[in-house]
Chains A and B, each alone.
Chain A
Amino acid sequence: MATISEFKQLFDKFLLENKCPTGEIVKKKYYFPVDQLKTIYTFMLTTTNIQWSQFQQIITKYVEYLDFCYYSWECFSLIVQHLNTDKTNVYMFTNLLGFIKIPTEKNEDDKLLFKNNKRPQFKYNSEQLKSWVTVVWDGMKPFMLSNIKIRREMLTLLIEKMQMHLNNPLVTADFLMDSLDTPGPIAILGLQGIFILVKDYNLECPNIYGKLYNFFTTDIFNYRYKTRLFYLADIFLRSTHLPELLVAAFVKRMARLSLVAPPTDIQIMAAFIGNLLIRHPSLKVLIQSDSVVGSDPYIFEEKDPLKSNALNSSLWELVSLKQHILPKVGKSVNFLFKKLPQVEWDMSELLDDSYENMIDEEYKTDFQKVSLTYEKPVSFSVPLSNHMDDLWTLDD
């Protein structure tokens, strides 16, 4: 059983290397005690009784040092080859990977932990770093496929920093497409990875819009990454050259979903729909038409957006939402009844909103006058309503 004090001792010893370097010093190379750092990391991963936050406290100070981060990745590439779920805490490893930055390039003002003018200067080798990162990514693959939690963490890591440091980022495409098809929040992360590949590495992805379209189901409101989805969908649908049939299908789908969505998501989707209407003026048929139809021609269950018959429909859902119980939500669809502006709404503010925020905000609003009911109740049921009495009884 290891304790945090032992770890501290180990770390202090590692730091003292700087003061009195012993043993062989390679003349032509920048000195960094990689072996010592590796033992520290291995220690971290093998102990079970120390929380990640405790380690984090100690390491935090050194994350700023360029050489520390750089050589950490060398350590990781060494560790990952011997990684084993039985002995090591793989989840902790993902945490560690997320915590240590991948240095992009060397600047003059970067801080170095083992700086010494007598010894050779630190050199940043991006090829070297890339190979290390690729080794780490390949090494993590088996764990990702077996454990969904690690997969999610690694996907976020990949999207946020690792992708651009891989030797060939396109190799992740397979993995990402695979995650795209798994249900749940992982798919959204996969989508974001694909998006980066499409954007930066010219990946051609067939039917990406069809896949995006099928993301919009009643489940998304429970996802952790739903705001990420809205953000991505906004970017994907940013082009004004998309076929209007496709955009109409998206608009209609979101409108339909907003009937069962929580209030904050309704606000996001209403703004999104408004933006799409501004972007694609031909979509005004959805709010401007004079023909009569018996029922909504849009087919919600259809998987293919182009076959959903959305253009023949109209946005009744948003009109219905005007009746939403919360005035804030009711107001968010008011744009339907006015002339559309030429500048789009900023959705980024809405993306951070949540139920709690909304309630807190409402709590803070001042009021001066309060209206009251004028029918005196005689019991706990509201006067002139029979709902409570019909359905509930105080007796056993």
Chain B
Amino acid sequence: MKVKKNKEKQLNPFELHINHKKFTILGRKSKNEVGKPGIARSKSIQKRKKSLLLEYKLKDKSNKFVDRRIGEKNRAMTADDRVIARFTASRVKAQKKMKYNLGEEEDLTHHGQSLSTIEKFEKPISDDDSDSDDDRNGGKLAAEFVEKAHFGGGVLSRAGDGETSHRDLIDKLIAESKLRKYEKKQLKQETNELTEQLDKDWKELMPVVPTKNRGETDIEDEPPTKKKVDKNSYDILMRSLKFDRRGMASDKLKSEEEIAKEEKERLEKLESERLKRMKGIEDDGIVKHRSADDLDDGFDFGDDEIQPLAYNSEGKPLNTDLSSANEEENGLNDDFSENGDKNEDDDEMESDEEVEDDDENENDLNNDMSDLKEDDVSSNDEETNPPMNNTDKNKSSKLFAKKLKEKKVLMDEARQQLPYTFKVAELYEGFQEILEDRSIAEQTVIIERMIKVNHPSLGNDNRSNLQRLYPYLLQHLNDNSCSIDGWKILNLLAPHLYDLTQFFPEHAAKCFIEVLKEKHTDFVDSSLKQITSDMLIFLKLVPLLFPSSDYYHPVCTYAVMIASEILSQTKIKKRSDVASCLLLTTILLEYVQLSKRYIPEVVNMLRGMLLMTTVNSSISYVQQFKSNMKILTLENNETQIEWSKKLSINEIFSEKNIDCAFKLTSLYVILDLVVRFSKLCEDIPSVNEIWAPHLSIITTLKINSDEMNAQIDKTKLQLQMLNKKLEKLQTVSNRPKALRLYEPRIQKIYDGRTFKTESKEKAERSKLLHRYKREMKSAVREIRKDNSFLSKLKYHEQTKSDVERRNKVKQIYSWGANQAHEINKLAKKNKK
């Protein structure tokens, strides 16, 4: 048998179609070496019988009948078996529902109601009830109708109203139920409308009715209702709950920690932006466009200078910066608007409250401070800075807070004696009039109120008002700069100028650049080459308002240029000159304290100042210093006097001669500045060379004062500690130069066919088109085969029915013949 089967599988060679190959190619799998057309055709016919034929048979038939009765198709079952099986199935289904009703017998029912309840006859369902509780038996028929239609079969009852036929009854029923539905709908709508109206009224009423009163009325109202009807109290309670004032949805109240965290994140973001600006763009990683003719000789036509980061000369600010800056601004504006609202309220209230408010502000500020402090601590930990810095900063922040408090007291006094609103004058003279005869604290309050009243968030032309105010304030500072008052004003005005600058940074920057330009031309044109107080005030103000740590900043860079020029060209002859130079040096220290950049003019200035204190030194003179400028030299017998460790800003106005106390204080400050600057440039490779002259001058200093000697030793130690280990330079260009890479050039093997050289997209497209064509062809072929299959089928059906019909016709003819034969037979019989 097996052998036979094998034989059957062997195909007749005439039924095979062999695809001949021209070449045998190694490693290529050929799928279609032998085709079996007969088998393939039979397969496709089978497939069509299963799919197309079925569809054809079901054509034009829209529904079908599925018999799901249990055991209906099972011929092995008898009729009884089927009934039993069905019953068990229904029981099982019922059982599933009462799985957990242990021990309880099945509840028998009649008309959907359990017999047990019917037997009790406790609460017969009355007609009234059904009427009143329409909602519950919504779809049910009226009792009257039910009586008549369902049970009214009797003749007696029917005799009275014989005119109502069955049809009339039904119509009536429909009309009734429609009416009822409509009424219900109407009622519901009305209720809704009324409720809405009530809600609206209530909301309008809400702000007028104070909370306390409302509570009282509630208490008064409640007892009588309780007395009247008990069940109403529930309604009232429910309604009172329902219409109780609801708070508007708002953000979750933030905990202290969250607020602190948010603030910290904001500051971190701003700090990271600042750092980015500080560093400027590094162009090392950027691959520039290279011409095809580039000889790789490094020659470059254009100047490949690094573009300044934020605001380059082409006026293309970086996008990220822009958006972030906007955000920043927005955020700040929000803050301010809140403050503004608060302050408006305050203005209406009593001054006591205002003081409280201020206290709050103070607390806020303190909080901010502590955040910053934390921030610093953490960053210090990361950077492993020496602990000195840390304590310094803590100290400074404490001092900060103390100062704030002192200032608050002063300001509060001023606040209570002044009107609340001030207009921004049209002209500077008007502005001067407002501030005339006021103390500095009062002036500050006036300006503060001016800013608050004209807050840009309050609309109008406040913005332009404040923009006008800005130069006035600068002019005010300028006018008062010739005495210590100017610095006191600056001290108090700085926060307000900061606020104003936040409103319109560009305008402020322009104002500052103009002012600085003016100061610079004043300096260049004057033959005295003296540093004046007004220059110092404005140079001092710049780093408060603009970030001096930026790699490039339109205002700060300009200010630094001017400051360093002034510092390198000013003539030092008098006491005030020395003080001004030292003050300017301190100001420049503030400019670079974050960016830690190097200012040669400052280093030279300190060197010159130190040289002025020594009698003879081998160190050469730099900048404007000459060997005949020895105004700070100390005699040993002069040192035993009282002197302070801080210079007074008043010294820059001083016309006095240089006395010993001033010399000592200056020297102390100079040494301190040397320490501070040398700390800043610790990371610069040539730090040793920069400070070597200073160190050698300091080592020759001999002063007969303990405090001074301590300071000298401290400075010496600091400078000696700057021992930077140098490694020889290894600049980037040392790396081996990579060969230029080109696109790999791959030649295609010639195999008789021509390949089009096309772009990638085009090649992809033509490939897809080719595939589409093939698919299309095969689909058409399939459809053709389907058609032939169907036509064959139809032909078969046709022939089949034709044969049938012919047979029938034949049969009929035979019947007819038979009949005729019978008739003929009968006729013959009759004739006989």
Contacts and interface: CB of A to CB of B under 8 A. Distances in A.
Interface string B131-146: 0000000000000000
Interface in A305-344: 314-317, 319-321, 323-327, 330-331, 334, 336-343
Given A358-B561, A359-B561, A372-B505, A379 B520 contact: no
A326 B560 contact: yes
A360 B372 CA distance: 39
Contacts of B322: 369
A348 B684 CA distance: 30
A391 interface: yes
Interface in B480-497: 484, 487-488, 490-492, 494-495
B733 A340 contact: yes
Contact of B325 (A316, A321, A369): A369
A108 interface: no
A37 B701 CA distance: 65
A185 to B, nearest CB: 15
Interface stretch (A76-84, A191-199, A285-293): A285-293
A259 B592 contact: no
In this complex, the interface size class of chain B, counting residues with CB under 8 Å from chain A, is 35 or more
Given A362-B561, A363-B558, A393 B647 contact: yes
B396 A384 contact: yes
Given A372-B545, A380-B490, A386-B392, A326 B561 contact: yes
Interface string A236-254: 0000000000000000000
Given A366-B313, A376-B498, A396-B650, A338 B732 contact: yes
A384 B726 contact: no
B570 to A, nearest CB: 13
Contacts of A260: 600, 603-604, 607, 622-623
Interface string B300-313: 10001110101101
A392 B728 contact: no
A377 interface: yes
B317 interface: yes
A118 to B, nearest CB: 58
Nearest to B524: A356
Interface string B524-568: 100000000000000011011111001111110110111011001
B393 A288 contact: no
Given A260-B600, A365-B313, A375-B372, A338 B298 contact: yes
Contacts of B400: 378, 383
A219 interface: yes
Contact of A292 (B490, B547, B607, B728): B728
Given A260-B603, A334-B305, A380-B490, A290 B562 contact: no
Interface stretch (B105-113, B583-591, B631-639): B583-591
A259 B692 CA distance: 12
A35 interface: no
A259 B561 CA distance: 17
Interface string A100-132: 000000000000000000000000000000000
A394 B491 contact: yes
A22 to B, nearest CB: 52
Contacts of B593: 382, 385, 387
Contacts of B541: 380
B672 A320 contact: no
Given A259-B689, A359-B520, A289 B729 contact: yes
A355 B565 contact: yes
Given A384-B372, A387-B590, A392 B545 contact: no
B647 A386 contact: no
B676 interface: yes
B598 A314 contact: no
Contact of A371 (B546, B592, B726): B546
Contacts of A324: 597-600
B649 interface: yes
A47 B49 CA distance: 135
Given A221-B623, A369-B317, A387-B586, A394 B306 contact: no
A103 B333 CA distance: 74
Contact of A379 (B299, B484, B494): B494
A319 B685 contact: yes
A365 B400 CA distance: 37
A327 B551 contact: yes
Interface in A177-198: none
Interface string B317-341: 1000110010010000000000000
Nearest to B652: A392
A330 B592 CA distance: 14
B325 A314 contact: no
From DSSP, what is the main secondary structure of chain B's interface residues? helix
Interface in B671-720: 672-673, 676, 681, 684-690
A390 B688 contact: no
Interface residues of A, number: 85
Given A342-B297, A391-B586, A370 B508 contact: yes
A218 B270 contact: no
Nearest to B514: A363
Contacts of A395: 648
Which interface residue of A221, A262, A286, A391 has the most chain B CB atoms within 10 A?
A391
Contacts of B305: 331, 334
Nearest to B596: A323
A265 B769 CA distance: 70
A371 B274 CA distance: 9
B506 interface: yes
Nearest to A368: B315
Given A394-B487, A396-B648, A382 B590 contact: yes
Contacts of B686: 259, 296, 316-317, 319-320
Contacts of B561: 263, 326, 355, 358-359, 362
Q: Taking each of A266, A356, A358, A378, which has the highest tally of chain B beta carbons within 10 Å of its own beta carbon?
A: A378
A320 B680 CA distance: 13
A386 B395 contact: yes
A34 interface: no
A363 B604 CA distance: 26
A199 B783 CA distance: 101
A295 B726 contact: yes
Nearest to A354: B565
Contacts of B471: none
Nearest to B568: A262
A395 B406 CA distance: 15
B723 to A, nearest CB: 8
A365 B403 CA distance: 39
Nearest to A258: B600
Contacts of A341: 297-300
Contact of B684 (A323, A336, A385): A323
Contacts of A372: 328, 501-502, 505, 545-547
B317 A263 contact: no
Contact of B554 (A262, A314, A319, A367): A367
B284 interface: yes
A262 B589 contact: no
B740 interface: no
B540 to A, nearest CB: 6
B495 to A, nearest CB: 6
A385 B596 CA distance: 13
Contacts of B435: none
Q: Which 9 A-B pairs rank lowest in CB-CB distance, beginning with the nearest?
A: A289-B728, A386-B396, A316-B685, A367-B554, A320-B686, A370-B505, A339-B298, A370-B509, A339-B733
Given A294-B726, A355-B561, A370-B553, 19 more contacts: A292-B725, A295-B723, A316-B689, A325-B592, A338-B304, A341-B297, A342-B297, A359-B558, A359-B561, A359-B562, A371-B274, A371-B310, A371-B553, A373-B544, A374-B274, A387-B676, A391-B586, A391-B673, A394-B649
21 contacts: A217-B620, A288-B733, A314-B729, A324-B598, A325-B564, A326-B560, A327-B557, A330-B551, A367-B311, A368-B317, A369-B325, A371-B321, A371-B505, A373-B546, A379-B492, A380-B494, A382-B543, A384-B397, A385-B590, A393-B646, A394-B491
